[in-house]
Every structure is written in C-alpha cells, then in structure tokens.
Structure 1
Amino acid sequence: MEAKDRPRAGIGCSRMENRYEWKDRVIFLGILTAFALWVNRGITIKGLYMDDLYFWSCYGEQSFFQYVFPVGSTRFRFLYYLAAWLEMAVVGNHVGWFVPVNILLNAGLSWTIYFIGRRLSGSKGVGLLCGILFLSSRMAYYQIGQVLGLMETMGLWMGLWIFWNLYRYLNEVKKERRSLFIYWACILYTGVCFVHERYMALFPAVLLVLLAKKSRKVFEWAAAAVSFLLVQVIRAVTIGSVLPAGTGGTQVADTFRVKEALGYALSQIAYVFGMNMGPEHLNGLPWAESPAFIKLLVLLADGFILVLVVGFLWKLVKEKDKAHRAAVIWNSLLFILFIALCIASSSVTIRVEMRWIYVSYALALLFLAYMYGELTRGVKEELYLKRLWPWGAAFACYVVLMLPVELFYRGYYPRLYLWPSQMRYNSLAEETYEKYGDELFGKTIYIIGNSYEMSDFTARTFFKVFDKERKAEGTSVVWIDSIRDIGLVDDSMLVLREAPDYNGFQDVTDFVRELKLQVEYGYYDDGWMDEHAALTVMAGKEGFIDLEIRFPGVMEGGEGVELTVDGGSVRKIPVRSSVVETSIEAEPWQMVRLEFSYNFYMQDAQEQRGDERLAAIVQMKVR
C-alpha cells in the first residue's frame, strides 16, 4: 500500500505526484469500472412499472417546466427531476439503456470514493479497496435496478462532496482558502435537498465545523443560515410545507414514533456492519435466516474493524501533539455526526430500505480509510511491511471477508419487494416488443389470468414507452380467464399467459392459434385457401362458426364451394358475388372439421403455395 497521498499536518494534501501518476489513476479507475460492470451483470430493465413508469408518463405528457418544477406536489426535487428529464430525453425508447447508465454512474461514485479514500488513507490500495467494497454492496440494488436509482446516486454523490468540503474546511491550514470549502458545502447542501428532502438533516454537520474552527467570519455563518432558510422558503412556497413527506405516500408528521425510529436506527447500524436486521422483502435474506458461514464471515470482518478502531483509539490516546489530537477528534466527530445524521434521516418513516443506508455505508468505509491513514501516519514510504502490517493487513482482511458476503446477499435480490414485479415486466417486454418490434403496436394483447394485478394505468402506458411517438396507438391489454373467452387468433392479436413460477409471461399466441384452428392442408395465415383444403375449428361459446369467402378474380358463372362438416353431409355454397357469407352451427366449444372443395381458382395468380392453385380468401370468426 502506497503512502504518497497520506495527509500532512491534518490537511489531507498529497505530495507532488510524479509524471507517471496519471497512469496509475487510469488503471485504478478502469479496474473499478470493470468491477462495476461485472458485479452488476444480469441486472436488467426491459420494461417500466410503478414509479419508473409513472415518472416516464409524466415526462411524456407534461411540459418541461411542469415536469421539473411540480409546484403543488408533495415533493419538490427539481434538481433530480431535471437530471431525470435529461436522462429520459437521451435514452428515449431504448429502455435497456437505463441499467448501463446506472452502472456507469455508480462506477463514477466509486471513483469519488477511491479519490477521497486515497487522500484520507495516504494509500492508493486502500482507496481502491474502498471503491471495490462500495460497488459490491448489496445496497446498490435500487441504484442499479430502477430508473429512479438516479435520485439515490445523485443524493449520495452530493452528500459525499458535502462531507469532503466540510472535512477540507476543518483541516485547511490556509485561512484564505478555508471559506471556499464552507461555501461549496452550503451550495451542495442547498442542491441535495432538492434531490431528496431527507438530506436536510445534514445541516448540523455544517454547524459543527463552524463551531470546531470557532469561525468569526460573518459570511461563513451567513452562508450556512441562507442555505438552510432558502431550502425551507422554497419548500414552503412550492409544496406548502417544510416537513418532509414519508415513504409510501405517508407523512412523517403522522407516522413518526420515537421507539420505532430508534429501532430503525439500530437496524441501520447493523446493516453497516454486515447484518440484515430487517424483513425479507426489504433485504432478501434476514440475518436470522442467513447460513452459519455467512454469519461467521461477517463476525470475523467486524473483528478486523474492531482491531482498526482499537488501534486508532490507542494511538489517539498516546498522541503527544495536542493540536493533531484535537484535529483527529474533530475529524472523527464529523464522520460520526455525518453518518448519524444520515441514519437518523432514514429512520423517521415507516420502514428502512437498504438503498437509504448506502450513503452511511460509503462514509463508514471512508472513516476506516481515515483510521488507516492515522495509524500509518509518519511511517516512511520505503517501510512497506510496516505500512502493511498490521493495519494494512487488517483492512485487507476486512475487505476479503466482506466481498463474498455482499456477493452472497446479492443472490437474494429476487426476494426484494420490487424485484418480482421488475422481472414480470421485463418478461412482458421480452414477450411483446422485444419479439415483435414495432409490429406490436395496434394489436390487442390478451393475458390469461390477472394474478399479478396489473393496474389499468400500467396496461394503458406500458407499451407507449417503446414507441418513438410515445403513443402506441391502438395497442390495448385485455385480461381473460381462459382461451375460450376469445375467438380465433388473427394477426391483430397476441395471447400471453402468466407464469407465476418464473415471475414472467409466456407468449402462447401460436399455440392458441393452432389449438383453435388446426390446418391439415390448403389454408394459409393470410386467409388464402387452395382449391382443396381441410382444417379443424373450435366453435365459440354459442356454437357458431361464421365464414366469409371472398373471390377477387373474374367470375364466369357457375362457381361454387362444397363444404363438408365433420365428414358428414356436404353443403353446396353457390358463389354469385365476390363476397359470400355463411354460418355453421355446432355445440359450444366443439372442434369441427371442415373440408373445402372449389370448382374455380384465382386466374393469373402471382404464386402457388402448395400442389394446387389458390382459390379464394376465407376469413373465419367464432361466436
């Protein structure tokens, strides 16, 4: 592990890098990007649903200003809405691009963690390990697997930069530069509150650093006050309230309970230390149900955290430089307060979702990097073993133990509350648009069963996403109980069935078509029929089969059709006009065998599909 970037005198500044330093950075960023792509392989978004679909529909139906500045709504996240509008404008109807975009953004987050971790620890290796462990975290499920994950990514990114500017303010030696960091932190604070309102809770961290430095600069205090008040004024004007809304359509003021909040806070702390202390639908696999070897790995990893913390505290106690000791204490308080505020802001609503803990987890990794930097502070660069042992080894062991744990828990993503539905709508997209392309538009899609309880909004909107015009005109969804509820399958129809065992859909159009209309010979999908043909048709619930025979050729007189029903009586149908209609009566749902024999054929036909000539176009309907 390198020591080139170890902060001196508590300011986190690195030594002048040599001319080849950029190559190391490119390599490490490449490693992080490759790891981000690998660890998130298999996660796809092919169809939108629920919040993702709703936000897409708003993008398609509202003006830019209505979408980005939703005055009167329960939330006013205009910075996120602006980013979402831009993302949807770029992605367009290429739904599959959302996940690659999310992965690259998460990789960018890992780059930030790498750079900050490197500066805090004075080690490229530690910075890289922080980035890798961040990317492998099971808490990334929402940021990667949902379109709205962009909101969490933006909030986390801005939160990290708020922390870094506050840290730089605490440790900057040059007073003339110090104010710049607090100003940036205040600007970012104002911005992040309009990405997600829970980040309003970070304001005490700004006050902490001002108090720690005993700031007497009016403009620094004014910047903090203005940033906080500006957020409240804008919220009051645009949504009529300064209190944040809760999750799931609730209001924090209505649902907040101190006892529950404390329980949620403790569960988040457990999550940070690798323990899933929540229900299955929120984490995939609770701690109590986790296998013994996973629990052992987590406990061993936490043991190495304990080694680093004890070593850090012991060195702090033994520190003779009072100024440095004070700096370390204030830095540690900043870490602890920032993490605590993030946890508190995610504990005041009706549940705890792993995605909300991601920022706390990222800061916890950086806190460990800071501890490593302090534990190895003053060690000369050439003393590689002393930097590696014992603190570098302890940090590396923590990462090595937690990597398989995170990958193991990622395997339980299908149990998360949102995953089954995403799989279903991915499957719906695969069985429809992915299979038929633009030919899908205008068709009626029959779905056998409705155990998934697809909403009318989803049925109306789902296929619009794939249309460049965002309309999907004529496309509709109809739910049926069985194939008996529809007639013969034609080119304007698709028939799907739910497959609950696989959280998906199955295209059974061809199967139902062949079941209801079994062609022996002489009849084709577009309705053309040879001089002789035989087929079996399933009658409808009333037992009728309606035939429409069209002859587009020149009639010479005496044309007729002999129709044999179930091998019995022969019905002779004279053809005196270009269109002839007739009906056959049978029992409801009866399979009826029909044989056709024409005494005419289509003159000057451009093709001959079978051994005989084309005679007429026959359309059939059942009722």
Structure 2
Amino acid sequence: MDAKERIKFRIGFSRMEKKYEWKDHLIFMGLLLGLAVWVNRGIEIRGLYMDDLYFWSCYGEQSFLQYVFPMGSTRFRFLYYLAAWLEMAVVGNRVAWFVPINILLNAALAWYLYFIAHRLSGAKAIGFLAGSMFLSSRMAYYQIGQVLGLMETMALWMAVAVLWCLYRYINGEGRQSLFIRACILYFGVCFVHERYMALLPLLFLALLLRRCKNPALWGAGVGSFVLVQAIRALTIGSVLPAGTGGTQVADTLNIPQALKFAFSQAAYVFGINAGPEHLNGCPWGQSPLWVKLCVILADMAVLFMVCGLLSRLFGPKGKGRRWALWANVLLFVGFIACNIASSSVTIRVELRWVYVSLAGALLFLSWIYGELTRGMKKELYLKRLWPWGALFGVYVLLMLPAELFYRSCYPKLYLWPDQLRYNSLAEETYEKYGDRIFGKTIYIMGNSYEMSDFTARTFFKVFDKDRLAEGTKVEFIDSIRDIGLVDEDMLVLREDPEHNGFQDITDFVRELKLKVDYGYYQDGWMDEHASLTVMAGKDGKIHLEVMYPGIMNGGEMITITKDEDEPLQLPVQSSVVDATLTADPWQMVHLTFDYNFYMQNAQEQRGKDRLAAIVHILAD
C-alpha cells in the first residue's frame, strides 16, 4: 500500500469512526451507569430522619411558595428547594425511590464529566476513566445515601458547568456568551448552596487570563454577585453564609483552623483521609498497609504526569504556547482552590464538600493528558497509551480498590448508624404491615437512640398518602411490664443497638402476656371452651368484658376457673358482662372458660368447638 492509499485509508477510517462515534459514547455511558449501580449497591433509604425528615415535613405542611421561597430563614436556596419539591411530588410516599434517583443523577453527572474529560483529553478512554473515578469515590456517600444529596449533585454540576464555560471562554472560542452563561450559572449555584459564592474570583480570573477589556463582562461578574447578595439580604436579612451544624461562619471563622482544613482537603483529593473517623470512616493512620500503598503509588502516577506538564511549562516543548498553558493551569487550580476555601471556613470538613474539588482535579488531570499528547496520533480510544495513558489508567486502577475499601467503612460515618436505624424502623413497621400501621400505638422498648419528639411525631406521616398518619403515635417504655395485653392497635419494638436497628417483638410479647392453649382468637372471639394464660398487671387485676351478640333464651352461664381456685359462675343477664379477677402483680394466671351457650347462626367455626362470645381481657 503506497502513501496515497494509506492516506485515503486513514481518511476513510476517520470518517467511519466519526459516523459511529455515538455508539462508543452510548457504550461508555452504559458502563458508567452500571458502575454507578454496582458501587452503590446496598445503600438504602427506607425511612427519613434529621434534615431529610425536616425537609419532607416542610413539603407536607407548607404551601409551594412557602417551601420554595422561605422568607426569613437562615438559608435561601430556592433553586434547590424547587427541585426538591418536584422530586418529593414524584416520589410521594415511596421512600425507597430516593436512592435510585440519586444514583441516576450521579451517573448523569459522571456522563457530563465524561464528555468534558473527553474534550479536554481528546480521548474517550480518558473520559471514561475520569467518570469511573468520580463514581467510585468514597465522597459520594451523601449524594447517594441522603435525600438532600440532590442539593450536592445540583451544586456540583453547576459548579463544573461554570468551570467548563470559563475554560471554553479563555481557550479560543472566546464568545462573550460563554462568560455570560458562566455568570448565570454562578448566580444559580449560589441559590443551590451558598458556599459556592466563593467561585466569584474564578470569574474575574478568567477575564484577566483572557485580557478582557470589555466593561460589560466585568460588570456581568460584579452584577451577578451583587444580585445574589441583594436577594439574600431581602429574603434572609444577611449576606454572610451560615455555617454547618447550626453555626455562623462569622462566629466560628478561625484562620489557622481554616488553613489546616484546606490542607486536609488537598490530602483528601489525593486519596489521603486526613480527618477523624466519624467524618471519613477510616483515618489515614488506621488504613491498612495495602490501601496506603495503592494511594501512594496512584499519587506517584499523578506526580509523573505533573512532571510531564512542568516540562512543558518551563521547557522548550511549551514554547509558543506557554501563556495558554499557564492560563489553563491557573483556571483549574483556581477552581479547586476556591472550592477548598469555601469548605474550610466552618467548624469541620465533610467528605461531601471535597467531591467537587475531586471532580475539578479529575478534569485537570484529563487536560494534562491532552496537553502531553497534543499532536500525537490516535491509538484506538487513546491518543497515546505509553506512558501517559498508562499512568492515567494506573492511577484509576490503584485508587479503585482503595475507594472501595473506604466505602466499606461507611457504617462508621456519623450519619450512617442513624440512617440504618430508621431504615430498620421503616422495615419493621410500614414495610411489614403496610397501611395497617396507621392508627396504631407503637411502643419502643428503650430510647438509647434518643429519638426526638419531632421524629416520633413525623416519621410515619411520610408513608401515608395523605401525609397525616392519623392516630399513629410512638411511646417509649423501659419494660414490657409498662404496657398491658397486646391488642390489634399496638405494636411493640425493641432497640437492637448491636445492629443499629429495631426488632418487632409484638408477637413475642403478645404470647408472653396472653398465651392461648385453645379456643381464643386475636379478634376477641372465644369458643364454647377455651384455655389461656394471662399475665396480671402491676395491680394484679385482670378485667374481663364478655359480649354476647346473640339472642338469649335464659339460663346462659359462663364458668371461669382461675388456676386451682373454685370455678366462678357468671350468669349472663345482658349482652355485656363485666368481671374482675385478682392475682399477685405480674403473676401468670391460667384461666379456663366454659359456656353453656354458643353463637347461633355463626358464619364460621374455627376450632373443634363453636364460637360463643367476644371477650376483651385487660391487665394494665
């Protein structure tokens, strides 16, 4: 094949590849979706608590305008509140839907990063690896495992979109509309989460890097910030952002601590858990040796790529493009630095806040690959496998097992035990009994979980289509002696701290308090002959109410025998007969019932004897 034919072949192959490129994208997107489902398997939301339950209660009790535009609140996030309102309207009382929705949204975000990384690197495989690293990160715990994860997902997407618009603006496209779009996105992200107000310097940095002299663009950047502050001042009476845990940034800001938090976030980006166990699951000092080796070797792969970039920034290979290279380095580093700064000024550093910095770092690394392989011939889905593609792949392949290990430590995170407990509470109640749960009194033995009054009042409303759960209430007891006999309007649970859950012991307590040998049924019907053992209450009294809904002919008699005592004869002279038996407190009393009559024209016969009467037994 001569040179002309080779050129024609390459052109034809390139055209064919371009024509069917969408298939490659679909395959990679499908793989990313599968990875999102796989790495998040086992994460569930079955019951709501804390912030999730509070926001649901606001949705259930406030009007649309009150919910989306909470005037006078400590936070004004109307774009997030609008999205949350729509999500809750779709989900309704199907609480288990929140996690699949969160997974799909996170996968969609990974698709977005895939396309950006593909553009930055010029290689689909690099885009796929960047998306895979993003999805497998341990920092996704909040976005997947909490209803409010929607807020973090929205904010992360909008922040990355700001970066992407500014990157395109300073790299040749130069359209003013891209900068205006970035300003609009900046305005929007500030009303998803106010900490992203810290991205303001990035807008001005882009203008400086572009050497912009258009006052309208500078005014757009300033105007977006001023408008954000004006709206905040009018709606919440403050321009300063609130801190985490009910604190105020102005009150808790500590410069040495902020610097410490900034360094810890940088360490998190490089895979090092530089924080306490309750915030990351497993601190670096407690991590297994193999995990540390994976992280260190992965960081070395990144270091080699950075060294390659430095050779371009300072060496002869970057001649003629040095300003463009520095401009992009400053843009990516500025994006990461702004996000780190915004998350360093409060009282702690949570992994979920570092997620956006990791996304920026992955895009930065994709850009580095693109620069190191600029002008090189394409090799299938990469521009150059060795060494730069191999180094990127090694980084992801080494970090993947480390991230999966840290994901296995989720149960140690501060919010995880409570989520497991309320998942269990939902499983042992609504998921087990369905709508029959409504109207019941739910007794919980023990309160080591310190369930708040708000949670006790609101938890079961989430499962009711009418959002009321009328008659349903939660009461805490120290012992099963604190309640009487278990009837159809009661459930009895016990805490199971060892497994961060609850156990339904209703049947056990019912059997313990009232053990039926034969002839007595849960709905109160009793046969002509019945035998049972009942636990007396704290005062030792057992109250009986016998109802005979049939026609009396005279001479009807009930014979009740308590243990070895003389039988008690109760003549039936009306449709309702009351009697009280005495025993020692908490004594197990054996009773036999014999009727000289039965329910005529009864529709059923449950045992060997006929149904006689309805008996209610109370032993409080």
* TM-score band w.r.t. shorter chain: over 0.9
Q: CA–CA distance in 2 between the matches of 1:553 and 1:404? A: 73
> RMSD across aligned C-alpha pairs, in angstroms?
1.4
Structure 2: how far apart are the matches of 1:229 and 1:32? 39
1:490-533 per-residue CA deviation (whole Å, 9 max, x = no partner) reads 00000000000000000000000000000001111111111111
1:101 alignment partner in structure 2: 101
Alignment partners' CA distance in 1, 2:554 and 2:208: 105
In 1, Cα distance between the equivalents of 2:614 and 2:29? 65
What amino acid is the match of 2:160?
A: L
Could you tell me how far 1:118 is from its partner in structure 2? 0.5
Q: After TM superposition, give the deviation of residue 223 of structure 1 in Å.
A: 1.0
For 2:245, what is the secondary structure of its paired residue?
A: helix
Distance 1:491 1:15 in 2: 72
Task: State the distance in 2 between where 1:311 and 1:528 align.
Answer: 84
1:459/1:222 Cα in 2 relative to 1: closer, same or farther (>3 Å)? same
Alignment of 1:530-545 (within 5 A): 530-545=527-542
Match of 1:116 in 2: 116
Q: TM-score, normalised by structure 2?
A: 0.96
Q: Distance in 2 between matches of 1:15 and 1:369?
A: 25
Local SS of the residue matching 2:578? strand
Listed as ranges, the matches of 1:551-562 within 5 Å are 551-562=548-559
In 2, Cα distance between the equivalents of 1:143 and 1:227?
Answer: 27
Match of 1:590 in 2: 587
Amino acid at match of 2:367: Y
Question: Could you say which residue in structure 2 is the equivalent of 1:134?
Answer: 134
State the match for 1:231 in structure 2. 228
Offset, 1:19: 1.5
Among 158, 182, 186, the alignment partner of 2:183 is 186
Check the 8 A contact 2:445/2:477 in 1, yes or no.
yes
Query: Where does 1:247-262 land on structure 2 (aligned, <5 Å)?
Result: 247-262=244-259
* CA offset digits 1:450-500 (Å, max 9, x no partner): 000000000000000000000000000000000000000000000000000
Match of 1:269 in 2: 266
Counterpart of 2:7?
none
Deviation for aligned residue 1:603 = 0.9
* Structure 1 equivalent of residue 80 of structure 2: 80
Q: 1:578 aligns with which of 559, 575, 578?
A: 575
2:371 is aligned to 374
Tell me whether 1:330 sits opposite 2:322 in the alignment.
no
Q: CA deviation at 1:16?
A: 11
| Residues 284 and 412 in structure 1, CA contact (< 8 A), matched pair in contact too | yes
SS of match in other structure, 1:335: helix
Distance in 1 (CA, whole Å) between partners of 2:89 and 2:41 is 25
Q: In terms of mean alpha carbon deviation, does 81-90 or 217-226 score higher?
A: 217-226
Measured in 1, the distance between the counterparts of 2:128 and 2:381 equals: 17
2:523 matches 1:526:
yes
> Could you tell me which residue of structure 1 aligns to residue 10 of structure 2?
none
Could you say what secondary structure the match of 1:18 adopts? helix
Q: Name the residue aligned to 2:5.
A: none
Asked whether the 8 Å contact 1:78–1:194 carries over to 2, the reply is: yes
Q: CA separation in 2, counterparts of 1:321 and 1:430?
A: 61
1:362 aligns with 2:376: no
- Give unpaired runs (5+ residues) of structure 2: 1-13
1:152 corresponds to:
152
Q: How many Å separate the matches in 1 of 2:371 and 2:319?
A: 15
Q: CA deviation at 1:241?
A: 1.1
Matches within 5 A, 1:433-448: 433-448=430-445
Q: Deviations over 1:257-281 (max 9, x none)?
A: 0000000001000100101010000
Aligned-partner Cα distance in 2 for 1:114–1:169? 20
Secondary structure of the equivalent of 2:18? coil
User: Match of 1:487, SS?
Assistant: coil
Asked if 2 retains the 8 angstrom alpha-carbon contact of 1:52 and 1:148, the reply is yes
Q: Calculate percent identity across the aligned residue pairs.
A: 69
Q: String of CA shifts for 1:337-357, please: whole Å, max 9, x gaps.
A: 110010000000000000000
Which residue is equivalent to 2:348? 351
SS at structure 1 position matched to 2:321? helix
Give the 3 Å change call, closer, same or farther, for CA 432–341 of structure 1 in structure 2.
same
- Structure 1: which amino acid aligns with 2:272? M
The aligned amino acid for 1:37 is V
- The equivalent residue for 2:11 is none
Query: 2:421: which partner in 1?
Result: 424
TM-score normalised by L of structure 1: 0.96
**C-alpha distance in 1 between matches for 2:287 and 2:271:** 11
Q: What is the letter of the counterpart of residue 222 of structure 1? A: G
Cα 1:382/1:609, change in 2 over 3 Å? closer
Letter in 2 for 1:444: T
Task: Please tell me the residue identity of whatever aligns with 2:18.
Answer: N
Provide the rounded CA distance (Å) in 1 between the counterparts of 2:316 and 2:619: 90
> Does the 8 Å contact 1:564/1:571 carry over to 2?
yes
On the 8 A contact 2:130/2:362 being kept in 1, the answer is yes
Equivalent pair of 1:166/1:209 in contact (CA under 8 Å): yes
Counterpart of 2:354 in structure 1: which amino acid? I
- 1:139-181, CA deviations, whole angstroms, 9 ceiling, x for partnerless residues? 00000000000000000000000000000000024x5xx1011
Letter in 2 for 1:144: I
Q: Residues 358-395 of structure 1: CA distance to partner in whole angstroms, max 9, x if unpaired?
A: 00001101111111111110112259998111111111
Indicate conservation of the 8 Å contact 2:124/2:381, yes or no.
no
Shift of 1:221: 1.2
Note if 1:20 corresponds to 2:17.
Answer: no
SS in structure 2 at match of 1:451: coil
Q: Could you say what secondary structure the match of 2:616 adopts? A: strand
Contact 1:319 1:325 in 2 (8 A): no
Q: Report the Cα offset of residue 321 of structure 1.
A: 5.7
Corresponding residue of 1:37: 37
Within-5 A mapping of 1:312-323: 312-319=309-316, 322-323=319-320
Shift of 1:77: 0.5
